[in-house]
């Protein structure tokens, strides 16, 4: 809350995590609205973090081979190419893919791809 607003004042506040920038004089409802918005955003962020922890736990339960299959399957090559790269039969890759999709749990390859992208985004950047 401030008596005078300026871009040089508001930009650092927003970068520091401010949800709203309330300028005086303000309506009585402006402050409760800003607080409720902050609570809602905090809840959404917490829910997202909890979902990410659950996804990481599911990923950690995969074997090394299943991680390799997941990485190949979600990176684009056909099953035949993935099998050749891993030195496995196509049916074995399909079985591993099915196991991965069941453990993650993915209803489709698109779901698995989304999970893989989320897990990659969460890794520390080098």
What is the tens place of the pLDDT at every residue in 44-94? 888 888 888 998 999 999 999 999 999 898 888 899 999 999 999 999 999
Residue 19 binned pLDDT confidence (cut-offs 50, 70, 90): confident
Within the chain, where are the H helices?
Answer: 7-15, 30-60, 64-75, 79-86, 90-103, 109-122
Given a cut of 50, whether residue 126 has pLDDT beyond it is no
Instruction: Give dist(CA 47, CA 26) in Å, integer.
Output: 31
Given a cut of 50, whether residue 118 has pLDDT beyond it is yes
Instruction: Give dist(CA 51, CA 104) in Å, integer.
Output: 12
Q: What is the pLDDT of residue 122?
A: 57
For the chain, what is the largest distance between any 2 Cα atoms, rounded to a whole number of angstroms? Answer: 71
Residues whose CB falls within 8 Å of the CB of residue 67, separated by 6 or more in sequence, listed in order: 59
Residues whose CB falls within 8 Å of the CB of residue 82, separated by 6 or more in sequence, listed in order: 69, 72, 73, 93
pTM of this prediction exceeds 0.85: no
Instruction: List beta partners, residue 2.
Output: 23
């Amino acid at each position: 809350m401030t008596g005078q607003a300026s871009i040089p004042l508001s930009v650092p506040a927003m970068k520091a995590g401010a949800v709203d920038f309330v300028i005086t004089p303000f309506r009585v409802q402006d402050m409760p609205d800003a607080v409720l918005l902050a609570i809602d955003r905090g809840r959404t962020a917490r829910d997202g973090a909890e979902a990410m922890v659950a996804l990481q736990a599911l990923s950690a339960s995969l074997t090394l081979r299943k991680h390799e299959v997941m990485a190949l399957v979600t990176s684009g090559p056909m099953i035949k190419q993935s099998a050749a790269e891993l030195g496995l039969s196509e049916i074995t890759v399909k079985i591993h893919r099915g196991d991965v999709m069941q453990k993650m749990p993915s209803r489709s390859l698109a779901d698995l791809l989304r999970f893989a992208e989320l897990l990659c985004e969460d890794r520390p950047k080098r």
